[in-house]
Amino acid sequence: EAGVAQSPRYKIIEKRQSVAFWCNPISGHATLYWYQQILGQGPKLLIQFQNNGVVDDSQLPKDRFSAERLKGVDSTLKIQPAKLEDSAVYLCASSLPKAYGYTFGSGTRLTVV
Amino acid sequence: AQSVTQLDSQVPVFEEAPVELRCNYSSSVSVYLFWYVQYPNQGLQLLLKYLSGSTLVKGINGFEAEFNKSQTSFHLRKPSVHISDTAEYFCAVGSYGGSQGNLIFGKGTKLSVKP
């Protein structure tokens, strides 16, 4: 089966600019996650979707981050405006409902200068 | 609140030697546990998981882990490592009854296998 697709792979922006990341989960996976992985740390959950509804966004910095899942399939994560501390790898993952453990995409490495 | 501690940030080992990567967790409720591997510039790949039942769990690439509730540990082991095992390994914990997706990850252990 095709894996979780993410784009772009790399992005460099200046602080205060905006940026968007795209994720296409594995076909049939209703649950989608966005994680932030800062260098030297483990991934941290930003937001979880079940179909096109938000299940958990308690750790999403809502003043600058937003996410949506169109028609319960693809998802976009946006940062506006970006700060230096947003430099990280943004990982998308998906799973079947109520499955334990999920499949990660290759991530988007964001550098904010 | 849950937490995960990976006791070693880096583990150097020679090829064909055994290795153990240590993981301890803290939680007030029943947990499930994972080990993921991350190769350079790639996403995380699931190595193995413990949900319930047998405490010895076997995963891909010859890895295994043992869940020890009394020690609150979930150490990862491999009897003989290969150069290709060089990667970063993450331990993660989730809680039954909590948000299923909200895994708490450790900071990772970089395994470096030398010839």
Q: CA angle A49-B39-B110, nearest 5°?
A: 105
Closest among B27, B28, B33, B30 to B46, alpha carbons compared: B33
Question: Can you tell me the mean pLDDT for A58-67?
Answer: 95
8 A C-beta contact, residue A104 and residue A14: no
CB distance from B60 to chain A under 8 Å? no
Interchain CB distance below 8 Å, B102 and A45: yes
Tell me which residues of chain A have a C-beta less than 8 Å from any C-beta of chain B. Answer: 4, 31, 33, 40-45, 48, 55-56, 91, 93, 95, 98, 100-107, 109
pLDDT classification of A25: cutoffs 50, 70, 90: very high
> How does pLDDT run across A64-92, given as a tens digit for each residue?
999 999 888 999 999 999 999 999 999 99
Distance from C-alpha of A79 to C-alpha of A97, rounded to nearest angstrom? 27
Containing B78, the helix (H) or strand (E) segment is strand B73-78
Share of chain B above pLDDT 90, in %: 77
Average of pLDDT values for A13-22? 97
Q: Kindly report which listed range (A20-24, A96-100, B37-41) carries the lowest average pLDDT score.
A: A96-100
Neighbouring C-alpha atoms within 13 Å toward the C-beta of B68: 12
